[in-house]
Structure formats: structure tokens, C-alpha cells
Amino acid sequence: MALASVLRTADPHIAPAAFPLLTAPRDGPGPPGGLAAPPWGAQSPLPGPGLRLLHGTTTLAFKFDLGVIVAVDSRATAGSYIASQTVQKVIEINPYLLGTMAGGAADCSFWERLLARQCRVYELRNKEPISVAAASKLLANMVYQYKGMGLSMGTMICGWDKRGPG
């Protein structure tokens, strides 16, 4: 609405009246029209089916015609303690592949570095870089052996191969 009023266009599709103001839904504590998030103080459980909110790393990857864009937050926490504000959570596997870290830093770092070595071995044996799908499957197969043993790792493998971005 603000942009349309600044531009002062006569086009009815872009006119300010075409963009009604939206109101936030009121389904949480607070005054009418307030945000749904509870205050920072002591939090009481929300009514409902007893959902537990999980906190952790935010990892995004977007695939488009020319490549991929990877975005990850940079905060490392240990419970409520913020261990670092500047953690590098994107790991270069090779010049065409990136891996993201979420979960235990030691687990993620170890397995993605091991994946980088295995991808290099693949490249030396086959004289071509590994595909994104094959690298992802390779990591899944390596980690699957340790299923149920307490690994704390969430990762995304993305990059560019001969089929394009993936």
C-alpha cells in the first residue's frame, strides 16, 4: 500500500484501494490485534494439542536456472547459552557442492569432511565430479550405518553438476 501511494499510479490494479490492510490473527495471549507470540517473560503453555516448539538452525536452499542459493544462520547455541554468533554452517565439499550444518557441530563437520574426501576419491576414479544426487546418497549411506546411535545431524547437500543445479 505504501509503495502504491508513493508512486501515485492511476492503474486500478496497483492503486492503494486494491491492497486492503491485513490484520494479524488473534490466537495467542495479549491485547486484541497483538501478535500471536507470547511475551519474553515466564511462558505458560498454550492451549491446544500440546505441541512442543523446537528451536534450532534455519537452513534454506533455493534452486533456480543459474544455480543454487544457500542461506544458513550463524548462531551456535548450547541450550540457552549462545556459544558463538559467527559459526560457518556452510561447508564446501568440492568447488561444485555445498553442505549445510544443523544439529551437533562435531557430527556435521566430521561427516561432511568425510563426504568431501569420498567425493574426491570418486572424482579420481571416474575422472568426473560426483553428481549432487550421488553425493547426497553417499552421505545417507555412510550415516545410515549409525542409525539409532545418537548422531545429531541435519544436513542438506546442494550444488551444480552436469545436469544443472540440484
Q: Which active-site residues does the annotation give?
A: 57
| C-alpha–C-alpha distance, residues 138 and 117, integer Å | 11
CA distance 100 to 108: 8
Q: Are 135 and 157 in contact (CB under 8 A)?
A: yes
Name which of 162, 93, 152 is nearest 127 in CA terms: 162
Q: What are phi and psi of 120, to 5 degrees?
A: -65, -40
Q: What is the DSSP string of 23-71?
A: -----SSSSTT--SSPPSSSPPPPSSS-PPPP----EEEEEETTEEEEE
Residue 90 CB-half CA count within 13 A: 17
Which H or E run includes 94? Answer: strand 90-94
